[in-house]
């Protein structure tokens, strides 16, 4: 059961739905400076993105959405997930380090089944909307798309986590990542992901 929960959390950053107009479970507004605002109804986080990017279908269960930059073979996925896996935090849930380790293992396994070898770069310490986070970076060669690079940036709170996945041709990394950094400056978590969840057991609420 724990393994299944970890897989679900990691797959949140890997699912790529097809394109559509504004997705259900999202709020999309035009902001100043020509950027639009995506707000996730389920987890409350929001992020601004360039107006020439296309908004795709929502991910399963409304956890996030895929954004498509005007760069061939690229995408940016923004999503949230629950921290429900057993781990070594005082609450008995997964730590950020444990989540990152599981992410490494599961992503490597998923691509390995496709006979794709990943080349990992050293993990980087990051913050996402003020929460401690990680940035995991890896490259690989796709027979159809050539050399690809992915940046997975995420934070993990007491009950919820946030994640951003960037996929682009290796040759376009310098073109897309400055925009990603500007987008991250606009990222808002929507609520305190370390707060006690209303779905928590009564024993935890009474602490």
The domain segmentation of the chain, as residue ranges, is: 2-192
Class of domain 2-192: alpha beta
Cα–Cα distance for residue pair 146/103, rounded to 1 Å: 23
pLDDT at 140 over 60: yes
Please write the tens of the pLDDT for every residue from 150-199: 999 999 888 889 999 999 999 999 999 999 999 999 999 877 666 654 44
Band the pLDDT of 143: cuts 50, 70, 90: confident
Cα–Cα distance for residue pair 71/75, rounded to 1 Å: 8
Cα–Cα distance for residue pair 100/95, rounded to 1 Å: 9
Q: Helices marked H in the chain — which ranges?
A: 2-11, 96-112, 173-185, 202-205
Residues contacting residue 99 through CB under 8 Å, at least 6 positions apart: 9, 83, 85, 87, 134, 154, 156, 161
Please write the tens of the pLDDT for every residue from 3-12: 444 444 454 5
Q: What is the pTM of this model?
A: 0.80
Cα–Cα distance for residue pair 194/16, rounded to 1 Å: 28
């Amino acid at each position: 059961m724990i393994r299944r929960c970890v897989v679900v959390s990691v797959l949140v950053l890997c699912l790529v739905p097809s394109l559509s107009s504004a997705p259900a479970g999202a709020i999309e507004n035009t902001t100043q400076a020509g950027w639009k605002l995506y707000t996730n109804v389920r987890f409350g986080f929001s992020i601004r993105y360039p107006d020439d990017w296309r908004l795709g279908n929502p991910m399963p269960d409304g956890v996030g959405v895929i954004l498509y930059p005007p760069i061939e073979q690229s995408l940016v996925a923004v999503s949230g997930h629950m921290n429900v896996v057993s781990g070594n935090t005082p609450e008995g849930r997964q730590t950020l380090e444990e989540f990152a380790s599981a992410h490494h293992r599961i992503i490597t396994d998923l691509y390995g089944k496709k006979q794709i070898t990943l080349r990992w770069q050293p993990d980087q310490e990051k913050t996402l909307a003020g929460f401690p986070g990680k940035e995991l970076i890896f490259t690989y060669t796709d027979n159809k798309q050539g050399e690809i690079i992915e940046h997975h940036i995420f934070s993990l709170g007491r009950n919820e986590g946030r994640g951003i996945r960037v996929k682009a041709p290796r040759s376009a990394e310098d073109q897309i990542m400055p925009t990603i950094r500007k987008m991250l400056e606009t990222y808002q978590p929507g609520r305190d992901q370390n707060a006690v969840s209303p779905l928590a057991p009564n024993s935890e609420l009474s602490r």
